[in-house]
């Protein structure tokens, strides 16, 4: 446990002894702040005169502003996250300091958890920014604090899951630019899939000329494809959680996602024993 | 303290280390000698638990490197060839960090960092950022991290490579002092370094251990053989054949690129006056004729040439 803390502390401090940490926090604060301010002003106007914005009544704050804001905060993490995770293990390998870690009495899991916790530490700093915005919402609206707190937890879970994947990619890559680019690419694909998933129909009718067996197979393939596109993207599970509607499968999804990539990272680091 | 049994390491079809076996006793300084790419670093990485052996076993302080890597790593201080440092860290913080991951008790972290800084002459560098240090000081920081926790075994991979002459002298002096309390396995391809520091030498070539003995035994006179340095001025091939034809001469070779020849002959052949006579009689100038002790260079070249099946 002490070793995990030592690795975590060094890694976390190293974010803020270079400009990287400040750039990450600054960009995140700027983008989330711009969106928040814009939507807050518009929502305030809607509440004064809903009909001029096409609403019969004042829309629910949770649905109109809170959930989209929290989902956006999660999505921003997917695009800023590579800056946090790309260096975690690839930089150690690139600079040769992995040799230092692996020749000291550290277990692989201590290195991995230490690194991951450091990235979560940075995530917590970013959550302070989200939390600040939620306090503003809480002080101007009657939304239950527990809903706001759960919204914050949702963004954290989303970030934690995404960072675990970034850590895994960092374990695979030999330099941080490659790791960052790969992580960013996956984030982009995930985001595009998420957008696609919103518009995909339940089923696509097969041509009449196809035999029944082929139609069934095509329907099954489409159903699997649709399920993957709809369910796999990280942000797909955030919408309802962010409104305070809790489905256990959404939370389980994030926990499983995180565990799966931490496990893969562990196996990747361990693979040096049989690959080298 | 260190026992390697038939260590073998293969990278695909390439055998980097081929059944290397050796022991290092407690308190010994042993030089691991070999040209670049001979397998020194591979062997050291196996001993430190960084990379596993394909075959064979290694034990350090009684612990098997493959079975008890954590116990081994607690007892080994390792300085890799390219010193792994976090450039953005301050020296003192880096050494405290290494102390933490080495398992030094929390209350003793600062004292341990101060102790190794003092040992390595870094007392005034504690507050400096590592990337701003000179190469010599970075090497010292690397050496200091290997001393954290006072491990009984030190494995140093090319500790003086890339340093200027004064830095080399300082680092060698430091290693000599460390040897009072540690077992040291030192890899290098600088032969004088081994002569100066080591009690015993392991010579490795193409992944095979081709010689191992104490310095005295390796450098001492061979049974019944005398080595002479002959500086005779004349056509090289003719001088060489003249010397080779003398009774008792076993081998003649050019001493590097210079004008001298090294002649090996039977010790009881009374060869010196006969060489002088033959050279002068042939009309060549004899500028020098002296007995030469066997150097580590000779041993190294001999061991490697025997391994390659080449007559030097």
- Per DSSP, the three-state class of B179 is coil
Using alpha carbons, select from B181, B124, B193, B195 the residue that is nearest to residue B150. Answer: B181
Please report which confidence band the pLDDT of residue B295 belongs to, taking 50, 70 and 90 as the band edges: low
Which token pair is A210? Answer: 């196809």
d(CA B160, CA B79) in angstroms, rounded, equals: 11
What is the token pair recorded at B161? Answer: 């490579």
What percent of chain A stands above pLDDT 70? 99
**Chain length of chain B:** 312
A62 DSSP assignment: I
Distance from CA of A264 to the nearest CA of B (A): 20
Residues A136, A142: Cα–Cα separation, whole Å: 11
Cα gap B75→A115, rounded to integer Å: 25
The four Cα atoms B209, B211, B215, B217 give a dihedral, to 10 degrees, of 150
Mark out chain A residues that contact chain B at CB-CB < 8 A: 2-3, 6-7, 10, 14, 17-18, 95-107, 272-274, 276
DSSP label at A51? G
Residue A236 CB coordination number (10 Å) = 19
pLDDT for the residue numbered A52: 84
* Contacts with A170 (C-beta within 8 Å, 6 or more apart), sequence order: A85, A86, A87, A88, A89, A90, A91, A176, A179, A183
Beta carbons of B291 and B228 less than 8 angstroms apart: yes
Q: Would you call B145 and A3 a contact, using CB atoms and an 8 Å cutoff? A: no
Quick one: tokens of B155? Answer: 């494995």
Optimal mutation site among B16, B45, B86, B138, interface A, most CBs of chain A within 10 A = B86
CB nearest B84 (choices: A18, A100, A272) = A100
Contact criterion met (CB below 8 Å) for B232 and B279: yes
**What span, in angstroms and rounded, lies between the C-alpha atoms of B264 and A76?**
78
- Contact yes or no for A105 and B52 at CB 8 A: no
* B270 compared with B68, residue with greater pLDDT: B68
Across-strand partners of B274?
A: none
Gap between the Cα atoms of B48 and B27, Å rounded: 18
Q: What is the pLDDT of residue B220?
A: 62
Q: Give residue-wise pLDDT tens across range B3-55.
A: 989 889 888 888 888 888 989 888 888 988 887 888 888 999 999 988 888 88
pLDDT for B234: 82
Residues of A in contact with B147 (CB under 8 A): none
| pLDDT tens digits for range A52-74 | 888 888 888 877 888 889 888 98
Indicate the helix (H) or strand (E) that contains B276: helix B271-281
Helices (H), A49-144: 61, 67-85, 90-95, 97-102, 108-140
Question: Comparing C-alpha atoms, which of A78, A91, A252, A97 is closest to residue A164?
Answer: A78
> Which tens digit of pLDDT belongs to each residue from A218-274?
888 888 888 788 777 777 777 777 777 778 888 898 999 999 999 999 999 888 776
Give residue-wise pLDDT tens across range A1-10: 788 999 999 9
Say yes or no: B39 contacts chain A, CB-CB below 8 A. no
- Contact residues, B window 64-93, toward A, CB-based 8 Å cutoff: 70-71, 73-74, 76, 78, 80, 82, 84-89
pLDDT tens per residue across span B153-180: 999 988 887 777 887 888 888 888 888 8
CB contact under 8 A, B106 and A2: yes
Chain A closest-CA separation from residue B100 CA (Å): 6
Is A74 in a helix, a strand, or coil?
helix
Tell me the C-alpha distance between A207 and A198, whole Å.
Answer: 24
B97 at the A interface (CB within 8 A)? Answer: yes
When CB atoms are compared, the residue of A18, A102, A103 closest to B88 is A18
Calculate mean pLDDT across residues A194-222. Answer: 80
pLDDT attached to residue B311: 43
Closest to A187 (Cα-Cα) out of A35, A83, A70, A67: A83
Torsions phi, psi for B5 (to 5 deg):
-120, 110
Q: What is the C-alpha separation between B139 and B302, in angstroms, rounded?
A: 32
B155, B50 Cβ separation under 8 angstroms: no
pLDDT digits (tens, 9 = 90+) for B60-100: 988 998 889 999 999 999 999 888 899 889 999 999 999 99
Q: Nearest C-alpha of chain B: how many angstroms from A268?
A: 14
> A18 to chain B: nearest residue by CA?
B88
Nearest CA in chain A to B74: A105
User: Does any CB of chain A come closer than 8 Å to the CB of residue B120?
Assistant: no
A106/B49 Cβ within 8 A: no
Q: What's the rounded mean pLDDT across residues B142-154? A: 90
Nearest residue on chain B to A98, judged by CA atoms?
Answer: B84
CA B140 from centre of chain: 19
- Quick one: which of B24, B32, B5, B42 has its CA closest to B207? B42
CB contact under 8 A, A103 and B82: no
What is the model's pLDDT at position A24? 92
Reply yes or no on whether the pLDDT at A132 is more than 90.
yes
- What is the four-CA torsion angle of B134, B135, B137, B138, rounded to 10 degrees? 120
For residue B26, the tally of other CB atoms under 10 A from its CB is 11
What is the rounded CA–CA span in Å between residue A60 and residue A196?
Answer: 26
pLDDT at residue B100, rounded to an integer: 92
* Range in A106-115, A159-168, A249-258, B245-254 with the lowest mean pLDDT: B245-254
A170 CA to chain B: closest CA distance, Å? 18
Average pLDDT over residues B186-202: 81
Averaged confidence pLDDT in chain B = 84
| Parallel, antiparallel or unpaired: strands B76-79 and B225-233 | unpaired
Q: Does the interface predicted TM-score (ipTM) exceed 0.90?
A: no
User: In this predicted structure, what is the pLDDT of residue B312?
Assistant: 41
* Each residue's pLDDT tens digit, B273-287: 888 888 888 888 888
Of B51, B74, B145, Cβ closest to residue A272: B51
- CB-based contact (8 Å) between B156 and chain A? no
In terms of CA atoms, which chain A residue is nearest residue B145? A100
* Interface contact flag, B11 A97, Cβ < 8 Å: no
On the question of pLDDT at B261 being above 70, the answer is yes
Closest residue by Cα to residue B296 from B223, B176, B202: B202
Confidence of residue A206 (pLDDT cuts 50, 70, 90): confident
Spatial contact of A26 and A85, defined as CB atoms under 8 Å apart: no
């Amino acid at each position: 446990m002490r070793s995990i803390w030592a690795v975590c502390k060094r890694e976390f401090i190293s974010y803020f002894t270079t400009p990287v940490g400040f750039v990450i926090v600054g960009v995140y604060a700027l983008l989330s702040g711009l969106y928040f301010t814009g939507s807050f002003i518009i929502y305030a106007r809607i509440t004064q005169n809903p009909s001029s914005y096409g609403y019969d009544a004042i829309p629910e704050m949770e649905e109109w502003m809170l959930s989209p804001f929290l989902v956006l905060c999660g999505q921003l993490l997917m695009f800023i996250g590579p800056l946090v995770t790309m260096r975690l293990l690839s930089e150690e390998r690139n600079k040769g300091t992995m040799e230092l870690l692996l020749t000291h009495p550290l277990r692989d899991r201590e290195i991995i958890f230490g690194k991951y916790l450091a990235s979560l530490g940075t995530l917590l700093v970013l959550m302070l920014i989200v939390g600040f915005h939620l306090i503003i919402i809480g002080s101007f609206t009657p939304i239950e604090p527990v809903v706001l707190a759960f919204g914050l937890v949702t963004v954290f879970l989303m970030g934690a899951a995404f960072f675990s994947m970034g850590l895994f990619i960092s374990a695979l890559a030999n330099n941080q630019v490659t790791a960052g680019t790969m992580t960013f690419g996956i984030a982009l694909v995930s985001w595009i899939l998420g957008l696609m998933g919103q518009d995909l129909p339940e089923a696509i009718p097969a041509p009449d000329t196809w035999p029944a067996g082929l139609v069934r197979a095509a329907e099954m393939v489409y159903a699997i494809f649709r399920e993957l596109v709809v369910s796999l993207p990280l942000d797909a599970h955030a919408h309802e959680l962010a409104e305070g509607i809790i489905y256990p499968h959404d939370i389980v999804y994030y926990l499983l996602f995180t565990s799966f990539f931490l496990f893969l990272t562990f196996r990747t680091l361990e693979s040096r024993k049989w690959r080298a | 303290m260190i026992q390697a049994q038939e260590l073998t390491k293969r990278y695909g079809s390439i055998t980097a280390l081929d059944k290397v076996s050796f022991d290092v006793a407690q308190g010994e300084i042993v030089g691991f000698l070999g040209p670049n790419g001979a397998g020194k670093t591979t062997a050291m990485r196996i001993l430190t638990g960084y990379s596993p052996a394909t075959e064979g076993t290694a034990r350090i302080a009684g612990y098997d490197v493959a079975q008890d890597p954590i116990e081994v790593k607690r007892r080994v201080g390792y300085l890799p060839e390219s010193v792994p440092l976090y450039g953005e860290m301050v020296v003192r913080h880096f050494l405290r960090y290494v102390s933490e991951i080495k398992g030094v008790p929390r209350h003793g972290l600062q004292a341990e960092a101060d102790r190794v800084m003092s040992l390595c002459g870094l007392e005034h560098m504690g507050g400096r950022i590592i990337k701003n240090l000179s190469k010599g000081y970075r090497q010292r920081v690397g050496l200091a991290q290997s001393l954290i926790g006072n491990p009984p075994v030190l494995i140093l991979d090319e500790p003086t490579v890339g340093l200027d002459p004064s830095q080399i002298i300082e680092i060698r002096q430091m290693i000599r002092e460390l040897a009072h309390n540690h077992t040291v396995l030192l890899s290098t391809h600088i032969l004088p370094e081994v002569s100066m520091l080591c009690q015993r030498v392991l010579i490795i070539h193409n992944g095979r251990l081709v010689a191992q003995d104490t310095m005295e035994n390796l450098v001492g006179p061979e049974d019944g053989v005398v080595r002479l340095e002959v500086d005779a001025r004349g056509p090289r091939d003719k001088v060489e054949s003249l010397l080779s034809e003398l009774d008792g001469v076993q081998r003649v070779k050019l001493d590097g690129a210079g004008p001298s020849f090294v002649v090996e002959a039977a010790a009881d052949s009374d060869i010196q006056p006969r060489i002088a006579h033959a050279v002068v009689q042939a009309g060549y100038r004899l500028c020098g004729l002296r007995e030469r002790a066997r150097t580590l260079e000779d041993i190294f070249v001999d061991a490697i040439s025997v391994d390659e099946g080449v007559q030097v």
